[in-house]
Every structure is written in structure tokens, then in C-alpha cells.
Amino acid sequence: MLESDNLMDIVKECSKIFDDSINLLSDIEFEIDSEKEDIIIPSMTKSDLVDMAHEVSNSARIKKAESLFIRRHLDNSGSQP
């Protein structure tokens, strides 16, 4: 009976080590997959980004010009009798 109990203890200990190892490997796999998601892969070239910056700048200028035009128009229409 002693050898049987000893063998059962060894099997239980090995099973526990195996479960812990599986959990650890699963955590490592999750971390690796999470890191892959954090990598940014650019879909635009530098010239695309420069072009986009120019377009945004032009758009801001147009909006400012429209705003100034409307303000002048409202000021002029308010001052006329």
C-alpha cells in the first residue's frame, strides 16, 4: 500500500506541475498575441501623409476664409439701413 500511495502522490504532483505549466504557457501565448496586436503597420507612405497634412491645412484655411467672409457679410448687412 505504501508504494501505491507514494505513486499516487507523485502522479498528483506531476499533474499539478503539468496544469501550472499549461496555464503559464497559455499566459505566454496570450501575451505574445497581444504584443502582435500592438504593432502598428503603416498603410500610408510618407508622401501620402505629407499630402494629407497639406489637405488639412488647406481645408482649415478655407474654413477660416468662409468664417471671415460670413462675418464681413453680417457686419456689412447690419450697418446698412
Look at residue 57 in the predicted model and tell me its pLDDT.
93
pLDDT score at 8? 85
pLDDT digits (tens, 9 = 90+) for 8-65: 888 889 899 998 899 899 999 888 887 776 666 778 888 998 999 999 999 999 999 9
C-alpha pair distances (Å), 53 with each of 21, 44, 46, 56, 59: 51, 13, 11, 5, 10
The pLDDT score that the predictor gives to residue 5 is: 76
The three grid cell numbers given for residue 52, joined into one nine-digit string: 494629407
73 pLDDT more than 70: yes
The pTM assigned to this predicted structure is: 0.41
Q: How many CB atoms lie within 10 A of CB 51?
A: 12
